[in-house]
C-alpha cells in the first residue's frame, strides 16, 4: 500500500471540490471557500503548499439541501462518503467531512473513539470494587461512600448499598434545587447509582477471602486509590449521566463556576466531616475514617484531573447522547 504524496492528496481533494461545485451550481446552492483553502487561492493561486484538504462553508439552508441531495443521489457518487453525526453517531466533530472511499485516510492527529456506555459500565464496576477494597484495607472508606457507610453502621437495618442509594437520591435532588428546574437526564443517574449500590453489596460478600497482611492492606489501598481516580475520570468523560456521588461535584462545579478539583476536594472533606460527626456522636468513636481516607479526600480531586487529562490525550468518548450534548 503506497502513501500518497502531498500533491496527490491535494489532487484528490480538488476532485471532491469539483464534484461538490457541480452539484451546487446544478442545484443553485451557495458555497464559499474558507480558512486555509481561501488563503491558498488568494496568496498562491493554488493550495497552501502544506495543506492537504479543502475547506468550504454554506448557508444552513443550502447545506441541508446539499446533504438531502447527496442522500437521494448516493448511488451516483459511489466513491464519496459523508461523515457527520447524522451519518455516524460515533463521529465526534461538529463539521461535516466528505472523503473519497478509494483511499484510506490516515489521521495521525486524531484519537481513537470509544463508546461512552462501555466507559460508564467499566467505571461503575471499578468504583464499586475500589470503595469496598479501600474499606477492606483498613485505611478507611473513600470519601464518596463515607456518609452512607456511617449511616449503615449507625442504622444497621439497611445495607451499605441501600444507604448509598438514599444518599445519591438526596444529592440529585439537591442539584435540581440548585438549578431550580427538573433535569430529566439526572434520572438516569439513579439507574447508574442503583447498579453501583448493588455492586457494593455484592463485593462485600466476597472481599473477605483476600488476605489481610500489612503489605497486602497497603497494596489494597494504593490499588483502590488509583482505580477510583480512573473510574471517576472515565465517568466524567462518558457523555452520559453518571453515579450521583460523582455527578454532584461535576455539576456543582458547573453551577458555581469553580474548578472541578477544588469542588471535588471540598465535597470529599465535607463528607468526611459528616461521617466523623455522625459516628462520633452515635457510636462514641470515629468509624470508617483512616489515614487513607484523609489522603484520598485531599488529593483525589487533583488525581482525577490528572488522570482525566491523560485519558483526553489518548481517546475520545461518544455515546447515544453525544449529539444532544454537542
Share of the chain above pLDDT 70, in %: 93
- Residue 133: pLDDT above 80? yes
Share of the chain above pLDDT 90, in %: 17
- Shared domain check, 277 and 234: yes
**Alpha helix segments (H runs only) across the chain:** 6-27, 35-43, 60-72, 116-136, 143-154, 160-179, 185-206, 214-235, 244-256, 260-283, 291-312, 322-325
- pLDDT per position as a tens digit, 60-69: 889 889 888 8
- Residue 255: pLDDT above 60? yes
267 contacts 292 by C-beta, under 8 angstroms: no
Q: Span 240-253, mean pLDDT?
A: 84
- Shared domain check, 43 and 192: no
Domain boundary among 71, 94, 110: 110
- Residue 324: pLDDT above 50? no
Which of 112-116, 165-169, 245-249 shows the lowest mean pLDDT across its residues? Answer: 112-116
Number of domains in the chain: 2
Which cell goes with 141? Answer: 472508606
pLDDT at 250 (0 to 100): 83
- Residue 226: pLDDT above 90? yes
pLDDT at 104 (0 to 100): 66
Q: Span 130-155, mean pLDDT?
A: 87
Which of 123-127, 265-269, 279-283, 315-319 shows the lowest mean pLDDT across its residues? Answer: 315-319
pLDDT at 177 (0 to 100): 92
Higher pLDDT, 2 or 211: 211
pLDDT at 219 (0 to 100): 94
Distance of CA 210 to the CA centre of its chain: 32
pLDDT at 123 (0 to 100): 92
Distance CA 288, CA 132 (A): 11
- Residue 23: pLDDT above 60? yes
- pLDDT per position as a tens digit, 192-218: 888 888 898 899 899 999 998 999 999
State how far the alpha carbon of 269 is from the alpha carbons of 92, 105, 136, 188, 260, in Å: 36, 49, 21, 26, 14
- Shared domain check, 53 and 196: no
Distance CA 63, CA 82 (A): 13
pLDDT at 125 (0 to 100): 94
Whole domain around residue 126: which residue ranges? Answer: 114-325
Domain boundary among 72, 87, 110: 110
pLDDT at 325 (0 to 100): 32
Higher pLDDT, 238 or 320: 238
Residue 251 forms part of a structural domain: yes
- pLDDT per position as a tens digit, 154-188: 998 888 888 888 998 899 899 999 988 888 878 78
- Residue 326: pLDDT above 50? no
- Shared domain check, 163 and 92: no
Residue 1 forms part of a structural domain: no
Distance CA 100, CA 78 (A): 9
Mean pLDDT taken over the chain:
84
Domain boundary among 92, 110, 128: 110
pLDDT at 1 (0 to 100): 57
Residue 221 forms part of a structural domain: yes
Amino acid at each position: 500500500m503506497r502513501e500518497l504524496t502531498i500533491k496527490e492528496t491535494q489532487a484528490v481533494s480538488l476532485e471532491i471540490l469539483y464534484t461538490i461545485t457541480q452539484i451546487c451550481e446544478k442545484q443553485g446552492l451557495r458555497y464559499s471557500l474558507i480558512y486555509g483553502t481561501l488563503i491558498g487561492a488568494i496568496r498562491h493561486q493554488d493550495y497552501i503548499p502544506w495543506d492537504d484538504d479543502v475547506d468550504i462553508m454554506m448557508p444552513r439552508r443550502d447545506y441541508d439541501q446539499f446533504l438531502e441531495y447527496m442522500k437521494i443521489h448516493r448511488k451516483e457518487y459511489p466513491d464519496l462518503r459523508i461523515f457527520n453525526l447524522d451519518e455516524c453517531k460515533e463521529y465526534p466533530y461538529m463539521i461535516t467531512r466528505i472523503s473519497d472511499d478509494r483511499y484510506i485516510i490516515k489521521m495521525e492527529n486524531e484519537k481513537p473513539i470509544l463508546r461512552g456506555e462501555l466507559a460508564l459500565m467499566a467505571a461503575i464496576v471499578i468504583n464499586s470494587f475500589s470503595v469496598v477494597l479501600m474499606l477492606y484495607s483498613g485505611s478507611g472508606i473513600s470519601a464518596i461512600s463515607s456518609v452512607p457507610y456511617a449511616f449503615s453502621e449507625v442504622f444497621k437495618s439497611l445495607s451499605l448499598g441501600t444507604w448509598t442509594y438514599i444518599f445519591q437520591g438526596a444529592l440529585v435532588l439537591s442539584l435540581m434545587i440548585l438549578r431550580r428546574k427538573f433535569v430529566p437526564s439526572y434520572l438516569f443517574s439513579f439507574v447508574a447509582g442503583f447498579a453501583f449500590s448493588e455492586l457494593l453489596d455484592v463485593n462485600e460478600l466476597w472481599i473477605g477471602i483476600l488476605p489481610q497482611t500489612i503489605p497486602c492492606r497497603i497494596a489494597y489501598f494504593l490499588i483502590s486509590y488509583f482505580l477510583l481516580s480512573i473510574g471517576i475520570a472515565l465517568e466524567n468523560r462518558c457523555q452520559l449521566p453518571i453515579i450521583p456521588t460523582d455527578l454532584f461535584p461535576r455539576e456543582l462545579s458547573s453551577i458555581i463556576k469553580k474548578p472541578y478539583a477544588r469542588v471535588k476536594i471540598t465535597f470529599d472533606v465535607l463528607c468526611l466531616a459528616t461521617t466523623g460527626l455522625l459516628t462520633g456522636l452515635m457510636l462514641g468513636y470515629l468509624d470508617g475514617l483512616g489515614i487513607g481516607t484523609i489522603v484520598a479526600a485531599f488529593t483525589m480531586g487533583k488525581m482525577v484531573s490528572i488522570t482525566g487529562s491523560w485519558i483526553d490525550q489518548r481517546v475520545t468518548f461518544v455515546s447515544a447522547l453525544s449529539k444532544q450534548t454537542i
